[in-house]
């Protein structure tokens, strides 16, 4: 369609527009279509033929799916584009043609050139002016004008779509691009019987499915708790490693794990808790312990030296040192 629009808005619009699908023809037949043949050039050539270059002389030749052209024909096409001359198969003389060549492909020609499946010199010869046409799913504003045009081309009596059909056409992704849209419109035109095309007249794959349900919204604390448990599970239940990954202290991690607001839907991690001995960080505790040991040793030496002279009423001082409370 774009090639036809270029031709219709150019000075060559009064001459012929000749389309040719390169992928639809085998190599031998494609050569005959492009460069024609003279009578008696091969078995079965009972008459001379007019090829697409001759038919498009003064106009536009559209080569669709140019990437599928065999390498041998690519070399011949390159010569025609460079010299502006063609030669019939079976003849020695050449004659000039004035043709504007427009080509299209859905393949990446640069990648095919890198893979040695497309001639590099032909690629640059064709790439005089190039542009990339986005797929139809990225051009939502073009869907309905194209659909209405296709419907009028079919001679539809109403020439219109219902609101539901319009929504279905706009919601579909069109993996087959414009060709699929044209076939869908033809399908609807046949089944509608001249009335406005409704959603039940469209192909089943075009009818838009019901919109998916939106995911439930969750609070920030629920998301945080789920992430904490997932990291703890990944660390095998080792809290020190999980705290290091999360970038928080072990005390903070313990508080988050023991918080009652943990979501019941969050994944349960295997937490291995080992009994730990309280760590007394107060210096006064250790000083008290040292004084108790010294006091006990002194009383033992005094009893050994004095014997019975030591009053039995005097007993060694007993010190009771309670550890400070453990705050995890």
Largest CA-CA distance found in the chain, in angstroms, rounded: 148
Q: Print pLDDT tens along the chain (328 aa).
A: 788 888 999 999 999 999 999 988 887 788 778 876 666 555 555 566 677 888 899 999 999 999 999 998 999 899 889 888 887 666 667 788 899 999 999 888 999 999 999 999 999 999 988 888 888 988 888 999 999 999 999 989 888 999 999 999 998 999 989 999 999 999 999 999 889 999 999 999 998 554 544 556 778 877 888 888 888 877 878 888 888 888 888 888 888 776 544 444 444 444 444 444 444 444 565 566 655 655 555 566 656 655 555 444 444 444 444 455 545 4
Residue 100 token pair: 């504007």
Residue 204 token pair: 């089943």
User: Are the C-beta atoms of 177 and 135 separated by less than 8 Å?
Assistant: yes
Closest C-alpha among 73, 142, 130, 137 to residue 101: 130
Q: How many whole angstroms separate alpha carbon 157 and alpha carbon 196?
A: 9
Which residue(s) pair with 89 in the sheet?
37
Q: Model pTM greater than 0.85?
A: no
Q: How many whole angstroms separate alpha carbon 105 and alpha carbon 107?
A: 5
CA-angle at 264, arms to 259 and 266, nearest 5°: 90
Residue 282 token pair: 């107060």
Q: Can you give the pLDDT at residue 95?
A: 80
Which domains, and CATH codes, for the chain?
Answer: 2-126 (3.40.50.300), 136-201 (1.10.8.60), 220-257 (1.10.10.60)
Q: What are the CA-CA distances from residue 117 to residues 70, 103, 238, 259 (Å)? A: 9, 17, 56, 64
Q: Can you give the pLDDT at residue 224?
A: 84
């Amino acid at each position: 369609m774009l090639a036809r629009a270029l031709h219709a808005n150019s000075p060559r619009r009064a001459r012929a527009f000749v389309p040719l699908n390169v992928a639809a023809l085998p190599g031998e037949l494609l050569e005959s279509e492009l460069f024609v043949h003279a009578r008696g050039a091969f078995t079965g050539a009972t008459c001379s033929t007019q090829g697409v270059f001759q038919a498009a002389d003064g106009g536009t030749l559209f080569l669709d799916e140019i990437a599928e052209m065999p390498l041998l024909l690519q070399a011949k096409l390159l010569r025609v584009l460079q010299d502006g001359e063609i030669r019939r198969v079976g003849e020695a003389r050449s004659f000039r043609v004035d043709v504007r060549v427009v080509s299209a492909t859905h393949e990446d020609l640069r990648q095919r050139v890198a893979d040695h499946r497309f001639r590099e010199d032909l690629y640059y010869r064709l790439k005089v002016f190039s542009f990339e046409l986005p797929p139809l799913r990225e051009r939502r504003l073009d869907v309905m004008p194209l659909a209405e045009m296709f419907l009028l081309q079919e001679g539809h009596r109403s020439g219109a779509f219902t609101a539901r059909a319009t929504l279905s056409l706009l919601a579909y992704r069109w993996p087959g691009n414009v060709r699929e849209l044209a076939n869908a419109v033809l399908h609807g035109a046949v089944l509608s019987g001249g009335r406005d095309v409704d959603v039940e007249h469209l192909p089943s794959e075009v009818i838009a499915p019901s919109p998916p349900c939106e995911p439930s919204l969750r609070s920030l604390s629920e998301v945080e708790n789920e992430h904490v448990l997932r990291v703890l599970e990944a660390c095998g239940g080792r809290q020190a490693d999980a705290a290091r990954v999360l970038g928080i202290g072990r005390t903070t991690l313990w508080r988050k794990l023991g918080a009652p607001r943990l979501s019941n839907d969050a994944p349960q991690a295997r937490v291995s808790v080992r009994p730990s001995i309280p760590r007394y960080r107060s210096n006064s505790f250790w000083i008290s312990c040292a004084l108790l040991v010294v006091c006990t040793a002194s009383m033992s030496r005094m009893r050994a030296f004095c014997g019975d002279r030591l009053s039995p009423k005097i007993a060694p001082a007993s010190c009771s040192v309670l550890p400070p409370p453990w705050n995890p």
